[in-house]
């Protein structure tokens, strides 16, 4: 009887606890916790946005551009990294900056297959939200890192030619490594809001999940002014400002070389002109169209109009820099150019001109007169 009484008491307490739990637990609360990545927020979109997302031309164009970039950039940048790290010795500040640029291009190229799948599936993201954030941050980060690195290469060339004595005191591996670290800090810090926001949105009237093609409401609170302030500052600090600094550096370099009558700088002038032509090519093909389209896109956003189709195409074209950056390594580094010629083009003989510097006077190796006499 004692055990039967205790059993009835236990059953009564369990019944009371179950009733209390049912009262406190909401009826719509799922028993199994759900993930925002699996069930992203649902949001209706305008007719213009819906038409853009359903555009077959946009899907084919973006997937084609990204496929071509991936097929060229992945093996090309892998070869460049191999040559820069293994054969370009001794390492110089320019080599370190080129390694940083090649690494950024290679990492970005590795995430392009995810974007290709996204556009082939009709702008429908099949992966986790965390991967969408990584792809978005690396997409913007690659373009920004490329321009900042080219700006640093321009500054390094400017100091080496215009202020050679001052540059000689500043030239060190520690400075170049610290510069690369600061570049990544400046690139990633403004992208923290993208890392902290759920970028996948389920479009209500299309039943697809987009990846950063539809902005979350909580990101800018549906206020165009905040949208313009954020993306406008990215365009200014990572496009306009680097281009202005690069323009000043190479204008000063050209003026200095034109006023120099040294025969030893003849090869320097030639290589500097080649590098400037390559940089102008990269800027004109990749970055200038994106800057123009970005400004028009932001103006149209204020006017509640859509210009996103052209903006997406221009951003995809801007990432072609992954395929053109190796030209910067070739004309920006004497060691890299010599090794490429020796390994891939064995018929090319490295002449006396390759022993002269590309950019700066302080790299010229002058043979002491005593050694000449002893010969």
**In DSSP terms, which residues pair with 41 in a beta bridge?**
none
**What distance in Å separates the CA atoms of residue 49 and residue 116, rounded to the nearest whole number?**
20
Q: Are 309 and 55 in contact (CB under 8 A)?
A: yes
Domains held by the chain: number: 1
Whether the per-residue pLDDT at 17 is higher than 60: the answer is no
The answer on pLDDT for 105 being more than 90 is: yes
Share of the chain above pLDDT 70, in %: 75
CA distance 116 to 110: 11
51 belongs to a structural domain: yes
Among the listed residues 334, 89, 137, the one whose alpha carbon sits nearest the alpha carbon of residue 234? 137
Across 123-146, average pLDDT = 93
Question: Global pTM?
Answer: 0.76
Q: Look up the CATH number of the domain holding residue 250.
A: 1.20.1070.10
User: Could you list the residue range(s) of the whole structural domain that residue 224 is in?
Assistant: 44-363
- pLDDT-derived band at 157, boundaries 50, 70, 90: confident
| 218 in any annotated domain | yes
Q: Look at residue 74 and tell me if it is in a domain.
A: yes
Q: For the chain, give the percent of residues with pLDDT over 90.
A: 33
Q: How many angstroms from the chain centroid is the CA of residue 254?
A: 29
Nearest one of 307, 311, 301 to 224, comparing CA atoms: 301
Task: Give 373's DSSP letter.
Answer: H
Asked if residues 344 and 336 have their Cβ atoms less than 8 Å apart, the reply is: no
Q: Give the confidence band of 300 by pLDDT, cuts at 50, 70, 90.
A: confident
Residue 355 pLDDT > 50: no
- With respect to residue 19, please indicate whether it lies within any of the assigned structural domains: no
CB neighbours of residue 36 within 10 Å: 11
Is the confidence at residue 342, as pLDDT, over 70? yes
* Residue 208 backbone phi and psi in degrees, to 5: -130, 160
Q: How confident is the model at residue 61 (pLDDT cuts 50, 70, 90)?
A: very high
Is pLDDT of 177 > 50?
Answer: yes
pLDDT confidence of residue 263: 61
Residue 14 lies in a domain: no
Q: Which pLDDT does position 353 carry in this prediction?
A: 42
Region 121-140: mean pLDDT is 93
- Closest alpha carbon to 212 in 295, 286, 308: 308
Which carries the bigger pLDDT value, residue 281 or residue 314? 314
Mean pLDDT of all residues in 254-264: 75
Digit-coded pLDDT (tens) for 206-232: 889 999 888 776 677 667 778 888 888
Q: What's the pLDDT score for residue 66?
A: 96
pLDDT for position 127: 93
In a domain, 34, yes or no: no
Q: What is the pLDDT of residues 19-39, one digit of tens each?
A: 444 444 343 333 333 344 456
CA distances from 149 to 145, 170, 275, 279, 368 (A): 6, 18, 14, 12, 36
Domain-located, residue 357: yes
Q: Band of the pLDDT at 83, cuts 50, 70, 90?
A: confident
Axis crossing angle, helix 241-258 with helix 266-282, rounded to the nearest 10: 160
So what's the pLDDT on residue 39? 61
Can you give the pLDDT at residue 232? 87
223 in a domain, yes or no? Answer: yes
């Amino acid at each position: 009887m004692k055990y039967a009484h205790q059993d009835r008491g236990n059953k009564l307490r369990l019944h009371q606890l179950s009733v209390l739990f049912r009262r406190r637990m909401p009826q719509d609360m799922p028993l199994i916790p759900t993930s925002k990545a699996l069930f992203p927020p649902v949001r209706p979109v305008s007719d213009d946005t819906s038409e853009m997302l359903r555009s077959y031309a946009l899907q084919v164009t973006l997937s084609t551009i990204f496929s071509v970039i991936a097929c060229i950039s992945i093996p090309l940048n892998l070869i460049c990294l191999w040559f820069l790290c293994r054969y370009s010795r001794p390492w110089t500040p320019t080599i370190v900056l080129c390694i940083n640029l090649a690494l950024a291009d290679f990492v970005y190229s590795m995430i392009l297959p995810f974007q290709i799948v996204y556009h082939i599936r009709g702008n429908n993201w099949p992966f986790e939200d965390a991967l969408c954030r990584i792809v978005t941050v690396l997409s913007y980060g690659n373009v920004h890192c490329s321009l900042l690195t080219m700006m640093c290469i321009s500054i390094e060339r400017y100091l080496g030619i215009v202020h050679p004595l001052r540059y000689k005191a500043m030239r060190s591996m520690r400075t170049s490594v610290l510069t690369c670290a600061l570049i990544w800090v400046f690139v990633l810090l403004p992208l923290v809001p993208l890392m902290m926001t759920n970028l996948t949105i389920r479009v209500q009237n299309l039943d697809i999940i987009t990846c950063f093609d539809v902005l979350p409401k909580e990101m800018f609170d549906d206020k165009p002014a905040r949208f313009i302030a954020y993306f406008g500052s990215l365009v200014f600090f990572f496009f306009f400002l680097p281009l202005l600094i690069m323009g000043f550096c190479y204008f000063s370099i050209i003026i200095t070389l034109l006023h120099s009558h040294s025969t030893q700088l003849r090869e320097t002038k030639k290589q500097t002109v080649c590098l400037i032509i390559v940089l102008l090519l990269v800027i004109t093909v990749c970055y200038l169209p994106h800057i123009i389209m970005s400004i028009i896109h932001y103006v149209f956003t204020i006017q509640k109009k859509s210009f996103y189709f052209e903006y997406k195409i221009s951003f995809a074209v801007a990432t072609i820099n992954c395929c053109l950056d190796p030209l910067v390594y070739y004309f920006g580094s004497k060691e890299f150019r010599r090794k490429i010629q020796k390994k891939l083009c064995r018929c090319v003989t490295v002449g006396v001109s390759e022993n002269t510097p590309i950019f700066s006077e302080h790299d010229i190796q002058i043979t002491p007169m005593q050694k000449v006499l002893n010969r």
